[in-house]
Amino acid sequence: MSEFNEFIDLTYSIKDRALLEDFLIGITTPKERLELVQRIKIMKRLIAGDPQQQIASDLGVGIATITRGSKELSQGRFKVLKELA
Q: What is the pLDDT of residues 46-78, one digit of tens each?
A: 999 999 999 999 999 999 999 999 999 999 999
pLDDT at 85 exceeding the cut of 90: no
Taken in order of first residue, the domains within the chain and their CATH numbers are: 1-84 (1.10.1270.10)
pTM of the model: 0.85
The model's confidence at residue 1, banded by pLDDT at 50, 70 and 90, is low
Q: SS3 letters for 6-71?
A: HHHHHHHHCCCHHHHHHHHHHHCCHHHHHHHHHHHHHHHHHHCCCCHHHHHHHHCCCHHHHHHHHH
Q: Are 60 and 42 in contact (CB under 8 A)?
A: no
